[in-house]
Structure 1
């Protein structure tokens, strides 16, 4: 399975960054250029333990649906989501939030596997890892802009 880790410091307390990362609306805003929408929203409009959501988007010019399960929610330290139906052979996203002198260290660990055995592994190595890293960075740019754009800053 392929794996990558992205880290970013956001000038806000962990509880605020954690809540933003669990906001389905923020996720949709972060993926707007890919036309990502929620086909099935989580019950009550927010992610909670055991929530499922179905996303529809277009990547590489191909429309697809991905259904995810949110689990292991541990405020404000982290949560996980994994694909339960969709284009990947496997997909797990671990979200972690740690106190940092400048706010919160947000860490995303993505583990994934494309289908089709050896061909899928080649696609993961040549294309998918870089593409997914860029998508998660876009999401994280949106989280950062929305949180830090509220005028909130922490002392250095």
Structure 2
């Protein structure tokens, strides 16, 4: 099972970074290039414990739906979301937040299992893991951009 680990240092309060990471509206902004839309469940605002969202997006040339649920939640330190329905056999995305030297360290652990057995393992090695990492890096860059400026107010004030 592949694991992607990302660490992002952000010059902003932990509470702001935490809330940006669970913002449906900011997620839409960070995935504009995939035409990602929240189509069911929690479709705007801040997602919380036990809530779920279904995303529709174009990945690798194909439109797909993926439903994930917030399975663990401890504001402002940690939350996890897990796939309920979608293209993967399994995925779990952990979001950790810590204060370090006056900044917020946001750490992501993204564990997933591709479908299709050995073909899925081959796809992981050839392109899928890098593709998924690229999506997460783009998302984190967007969180950092909004958190380190006044733009966070655009998505958290509503």
TM over 0.5: yes
TM-score normalised by L of structure 1: 0.92
TM-score normalised by L of structure 2: 0.91
Taking the aligned partners of 2:151 and 2:102, their CA distance within structure 1 comes to 15
Map 1:75-114; keep pairs closer than 5 Å. 75-114=75-114
SS of residue paired to 2:115: coil
Taking the aligned partners of 1:130 and 1:72, their CA distance within structure 2 comes to 26
Taking the aligned partners of 1:10 and 1:107, their CA distance within structure 2 comes to 11
Taking the aligned partners of 2:7 and 2:44, their CA distance within structure 1 comes to 30
Map 1:1-156; keep pairs closer than 5 Å. 1-42=1-42, 45-150=45-150
User: Please, which moves more after superposition, 50-59 or 36-45?
Assistant: 36-45
Contact 1:78 1:94 in 2 (8 A): yes
Per-residue CA deviation, residues 63-97 of structure 1 (Å, 9 max, x unaligned), is 10000001211011110001110000111100000
SS of residue paired to 2:150: coil
Moved over 3 A (4+): none
RMSD: 1.6
Per-residue CA deviation, residues 106-141 of structure 1 (Å, 9 max, x unaligned), is 001000111011111111121111000000000011
TM-superposed CA distance for 1:151, in Å, is 8.1
Residue segments in structure 1 that go unaligned for 5+ positions in a row:
none
